[in-house]
Amino acid sequence: MSLRLGLLAVLSLALVAACAGGALGTAARQRVSPLLGALVGAAAVWTGALAWSGGTGGLVVGTVLPGVGARYAPDRLGGAFLVLVGAVTVLASVWALDGARGTAASRTAWVAYPLFVLGLLGVMAAADVVAFLLAWEVMAVASAVLVLADHAHRPEVVGAGLWYAGMTQLSFLLVLGGFAVLASAAGGTAWADLARLAPDAGATGLGVGLLLLGFVTKAGAVPVHVWLPRAHPEAPSHVSALMSAAMVKAGVYGVLLVVVRLFPAGPSWWGLVLLVVGSVSAVFGILQAGVAADLKRLLAYSTTENVGLILVAVGAAQVTTARGDVATGHVLLVAALLLTSGHAAAKSVLFLTAGSVLHATGLRDLDRLGGLGRTMPWTCGAFGVAALGAAGLPVTAGFVAEWTLLQALVHAGGPADPRLGLVSALAVTVVALTAGLALMTFTKAFGIAFLGRPRSDGAAAAHEVGRAERVAAALGALAVLGLGLVPGPMATAAVRALGVDGVTAAGTTLAAGVRLGGVAAAPGAVGGAAAGADGLVPVLDPLALSLATLAALVVVAGVVARLRRRAARRAVELGWGCGGARVSPRMQYTATSYAEPLVRIFDAPLGVSRSVATTTADAPYVVRAMSFRQRVRDVFEEHGYRPLLRAAARVGDAGRALHNGSVHRYLAWSFATFVVVLGLAAR
């Protein structure tokens, strides 16, 4: 079956959805537009699956600019990302049936939404530079419109929208520049033309450098992450889900496009750059997420962390491959794809359920939430599963991905290559610290929001949300669990998407774990007495792990059932009341107090400032009132962007001297420009 049909279906459905969004009345729009969005997503999943399994064909748009055409023909890797984006779109659209209200369901928003999805899909499906850039710009503009959906009611949305628009256009310019350099050096715009360039040539290096910078800006890596913690919280929740789970992946796809598809034989410094950027992003992102009290801001910073881990995997793959350890490099690339899919599943659920919490309580501030587990059991369950996934615990997709990454890292290098060993030791440290802090972050997010007692009236008045929101969250949570319980098919599919080897499904049935044949130690290096030829290949079978746990728990359940007959559970007002410790909900730990140890330990990288003011009566020991203020800043923004913005403002001020309102002067400027252009053209 040709891909042409699928691509046409996606294109026409998206255009119909955009027209419907513009033409329908409010009530009809709220029913029809989300369904059309879900259809676009489903069509994308279908098309992507075809491309992933090796389908051929494509869609040629004859004229996008005068005399320039564009070709959309996804390969296997693009197909994998199409499936991912399509699946997230389906979830977000289903959620929007109940979840998108008010300004999030305005005419403009429902016109922009399908176009945003179309742009995203176009990026993954593009087969040449023009097609890629066109889709990239559609995606950038439409998403900026969506971020601004609620600008009329909340002033902070405008600031977020400005930052987002600025950064996303910066990323576009960098990608445009990078592709321009590569295309002029290659003399063609198709991927096949670019791939013929020598990877170690100067022009290639410049082009790839610009591209990587542009792509990591879109991916939200440090230090170009500043748009993410602003735009994600202010956008409508289904758009945040789509942005975090799918659009950020466009940046990841771009990086993979460069280092896997165009230049698989690239020099190792590309990988080192990605490793450093990824490491800083991972640790900084999770630290900021750990201390964040705004639920969606926490999730946004955790996106930076996840992108960081993906970049660590890709960077390490590039370095190991360039240093000759190709098999381990392949396993690392598979780990990158597993991280991507696991993160997409978990983060879409987290953003959607955060949106449900926002509806039910009107709050994003964790410090004022609490006790939602009783009033919103579905949302609580889905959030809990997804939080497990984001924290990388078994048996979720996130765990399988982190396990694969760690296994590949500890097998990279080895005694033959100590320098690579040092790199992988540092990478393991980064992954470990990130995983540990992610554990704390998501225990905090889940425990503070859903357990304990309500910390405000809004939280106390919470109610379970509508069916569509619950269904979307539950489906996503099932995906997180499914990919974690039976990771084999996904791993082999990732292998096929990347065109590598080294990872197989363990076992022949569908219920299969992961087997990393690519990182097996050479038989001669084995010191163990009993290890067979196959005994040292890392194998992970989450299903077997779960069954073993279940077997243990059956015994426990038997004992508990007997004990339960003896003594039933009894509800009391105060479980344990030292000093009336439960009198007021305000005496509970809040998200801010939960993160206090982190703030203390990592005060320098977090840029913490705090002030305590005490008002005393006559004697210094009689305290009347105390005020405590603590602020956590983004050091990159404070020391990187503020000076830059100030400098830009100064340049602008200086430029003002050039235009004083005199027409003569403007004519003189025009003439001078004309002469310069003539001079350049005549050269």
DSSP-assigned letters across all residues of 448-487: HHHSS--SSHHHHT-----HHHHHHHHHHHHHHHHHHHS-
CA distance 605 to 672: 49
CA distance 95 to 473: 8
Among 316, 252, 301, 312, smallest CA distance to 278 is for 312
Q: Length of the chain, please?
A: 683
Residue type, 457: D
For another protein, the closer of residues 180 and 544 by Cβ is 544
Per the CB < 8 A criterion, the answer to whether 414 and 336 are in contact is no
For another protein, the closer of residues 527 and 679 by Cβ is 527
Please, which residues have CB within 8 angstroms of residue 228's CB and are 6 or more apart in sequence? Answer: 220, 248, 300, 301, 303, 304
For another protein, the closer of residues 224 and 437 by Cβ is 437
Q: How far is the CB of 585 from another protein (least distance, A)?
A: 7
Per the CB < 8 A criterion, the answer to whether 289 and 381 are in contact is no
For another protein, the closer of residues 298 and 439 by Cβ is 439
Q: How far is the CB of 384 from another protein (least distance, A)?
A: 9
Q: How far is the CB of 52 from another protein (least distance, A)?
A: 28
DSSP-derived letter for residue 61 is: E
Among 165, 51, 7, 39, smallest CA distance to 114 is for 39
For another protein, the closer of residues 141 and 369 by Cβ is 369
Among 453, 460, 451, 458, smallest CA distance to 586 is for 453
Q: How far is the CB of 484 from another protein (least distance, A)?
A: 11
DSSP-assigned letters across all residues of 533-551: TTTTS-EE-HHHHHHHHHH
CA distance 125 to 122: 5
For another protein, the closer of residues 315 and 373 by Cβ is 373
Q: How far is the CB of 551 from another protein (least distance, A)?
A: 9
For another protein, the closer of residues 68 and 531 by Cβ is 531
For another protein, the closer of residues 49 and 451 by Cβ is 451
CA distance 77 to 71: 16
Q: How far is the CB of 397 from another protein (least distance, A)?
A: 13
For another protein, the closer of residues 236 and 290 by Cβ is 290
Q: How far is the CB of 265 from another protein (least distance, A)?
A: 27
Among 280, 253, 436, 445, smallest CA distance to 349 is for 445
Q: How far is the CB of 445 from another protein (least distance, A)?
A: 11
CA distance 622 to 626: 11
CA distance 346 to 306: 11
Q: How far is the CB of 644 from another protein (least distance, A)?
A: 33
CA distance 363 to 287: 23
Q: How far is the CB of 631 from another protein (least distance, A)?
A: 20
Q: CA angle, corner 682, sides to 679 and 683, nearest 5?
A: 85
For another protein, the closer of residues 32 and 425 by Cβ is 425
For another protein, the closer of residues 569 and 624 by Cβ is 569
Q: How far is the CB of 450 from another protein (least distance, A)?
A: 8
Strand, helix or coil for residue 507: coil
- CA of residue 505 relative to chain centroid, distance: 26
